[in-house]
């Protein structure tokens, strides 16, 4: 996941970048609103963390600019002001969530995950048939085929493949898989996910081309047609 932080307090910005980086997020930092606007225009981000009091372009105006360019990217605003009118101004500018400084890093992570999860759900494919190349998953009949050949899967393998297909061409981390396919308290330090990924590879990739399940070293897994 690509996150843009626009925060003029360098200590806070660098601390957030370090903490989020340790959780496998890709983080870029802008220390003023003008640079934040340029960076957002140059790259696609999955989430923006935006301080309100910024030199150059302030956070409220930058949020409005972001919304003109992208209606759906989640924006989390940070501010030292926590009054109702201040929050209303932030939400009216297009923010999705609002945190008052000082804040807990753990709470920030919960907010980030909730915003990213909601954003992903809004962009998931709908319908009862999921497809990638010659692989098809019918959600009504619970049948998976590749090149017309029926591939039997266990219930957990089916759920894992469904999650990967719903997020095709997007890297999903082991933590994402653990939360969505197992449960929020799943211990990602075990090798269970890797074992099930290997089960799927043997069933849907071993005897077929192109290979569809790819490892993104250091980040997780992605379903796509080509390396």
Going by pLDDT thresholds of 50, 70 and 90, the confidence category of residue 222 is very high
Mean pLDDT of 135-144: 89
pLDDT at 28: 96
Cα distances (angstroms) measured from residue 212 to each of 165, 176, 209, 222: 10, 19, 8, 8
- Report d(CA 201, CA 56) in Å as an integer: 50
For all residues of the chain together, what is the average pLDDT?
88
For residues 220 and 23, the answer to whether their CB atoms sit within 8 Å is: no
| CA-based nearest residue to 99, from 80, 121, 85, 73 | 80
Query: Which tokens hold the place of 154?
Result: 């266990």
| % of the chain surpassing 70 pLDDT | 93
**What are the residues whose beta carbons fall under 8 Å from the beta carbon of 173, sequence distance 6 or more?**
24, 219, 220
Mean pLDDT of 126-151: 87
Q: What is the pTM of this model?
A: 0.56
Q: What is the pLDDT of residues 65-106, one digit of tens each?
A: 999 998 889 999 998 876 777 778 888 888 988 898 888 998
Tally DSSP H helices, then E strands, for the chain: 8, 11
Going by pLDDT thresholds of 50, 70 and 90, the confidence category of residue 181 is confident
220: region left, alpha or beta (phi > 0 left; psi from -120 to 50 alpha) = left
pLDDT at 188: 62
pLDDT at 176: 86
């Amino acid at each position: 996941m690509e996150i843009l932080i626009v925060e003029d307090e360098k200590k806070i910005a660098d601390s957030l970048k370090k903490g989020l980086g340790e959780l496998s997020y890709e983080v870029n930092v802008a220390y003023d609103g003008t640079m934040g606007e340029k960076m957002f225009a140059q790259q696609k981000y999955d989430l923006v963390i935006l301080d309100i009091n910024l030199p150059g372009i302030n956070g409220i105006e930058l949020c409005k600019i972001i919304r003109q360019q992208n209606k759906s990217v989640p924006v989390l605003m940070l501010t030292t002001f926590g009054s109702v009118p201040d929050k209303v101004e932030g939400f009216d500018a297009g923010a999705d969530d609002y945190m008052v400084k000082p804040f807990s890093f753990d709470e920030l992570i919960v907010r980030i995950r909730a915003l990213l999860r909601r954003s992903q759900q809004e962009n998931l494919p709908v319908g009862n048939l999921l497809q990638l190349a010659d692989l098809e998953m019918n959600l009504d009949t619970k049948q998976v085929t590749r090149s017309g050949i029926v591939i039997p899967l266990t219930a957990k393998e089916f759920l894992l493949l469904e999650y990967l297909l719903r997020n095709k061409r997007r890297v999903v981390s082991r933590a994402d898989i653990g939360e969505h396919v197992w449960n929020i308290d799943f211990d990602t330090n075990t090798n269970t996910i890797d074992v099930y990924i290997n089960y799927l590879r043997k069933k849907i990739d071993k005897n077929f081309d192109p290979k569809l399940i790819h490892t993104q070293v250091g980040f997780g897994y992605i379903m796509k047609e080509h390396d």
